[in-house]
Chain A
């Protein structure tokens, strides 16, 4: 069964460093999303992406964040200068219609 994959599963970085989180959505899906979940809290929408451009973004998704689909398979989230409060699980999701399929997540730890 097709699934969304994410790498790395865990990333540790120092404050101020740039990180790139990678996702491979399900191959025939057209809509892609990034979410984050701070430990023990609710899931927060970051950004949606369709047709090679951002379709919606939340107030969390400020200038420190960017997304890219560099080739036909990968979908990346870049955080330019990480802060301690960026520590969270980051989930990628994709869909072809309504049901979103979530990847396993990347745990980002900023020290």
Chain B
């Protein structure tokens, strides 16, 4: 059974700092997704990573995928308050499995 583990589950960081969220998964997959969810809202697609070594960047967020290590990272550069949200990774096996989410709070 495909398992997806995210860490940390909670992250409080100061504006301007950098940090990385990790997503490990247990079985082979070539598709990994990152989503953002604001409180009470739906999921917003951030990145779709389709191959080993894939790296995508959008603003202060950069995602990468290492299929051999079964690891994806979401790196936050110079965090700002607007990035406060919950971030989920999801892996597409036979079905889509989500990590537990990382609740990010960026403080001034």
Chain A residues in the interface with B (C-beta under 8 A) = 33, 35, 41-45, 48, 56-58, 91, 98-105
The interface residues of chain B, by DSSP majority, are classed as strand
CB closest residue in chain B, given A35:
B96
Contacts A42-B100, A42-B101, A43-B88: A56 and B43 contacting too (C-beta < 8 A)? no
Between B44, B94, B96, B99, the greatest number of chain A beta carbons within 10 A of the residue's beta carbon is seen for B96
Between A41, A43, A44, A98, the greatest number of chain B beta carbons within 10 A of the residue's beta carbon is seen for A43
11 example contacts (A-B, Cβ-Cβ < 8 A) are as follows A33-B96, A41-B100, A42-B99, A42-B100, A44-B98, A48-B95, A57-B95, A91-B42, A99-B33, A100-B45, A102-B43
CB pair A99–B45 under 8 Å, yes or no, is: yes
CB pair A45–B97 under 8 Å, yes or no, is: yes
How long is the Cα–Cα vector from A29 to B53 in the complex, in angstroms? 28
CB closest residue in chain A, given B47:
A99
CB pair A105–B88 under 8 Å, yes or no, is: no
Interface residues of B in 32-84 (CB under 8 A from A): 33, 35, 41-45, 48, 50
How long is the Cα–Cα vector from A35 to B88 in the complex, in angstroms? 14
CB pair B43–A91 under 8 Å, yes or no, is: yes
**B83 CB → nearest A CB, Å:** 19
Residues of A within 8 Å of B44, CB to CB, are 102
Known: A35-B96, A43-B43, A103-B42. 17 other contacts (CB 8 A): A41-B100, A42-B98, A42-B99, A43-B90, A45-B96, A45-B97, A48-B95, A91-B42, A91-B43, A98-B31, A98-B50, A99-B48, A100-B45, A102-B35, A102-B42, A102-B43, A104-B41
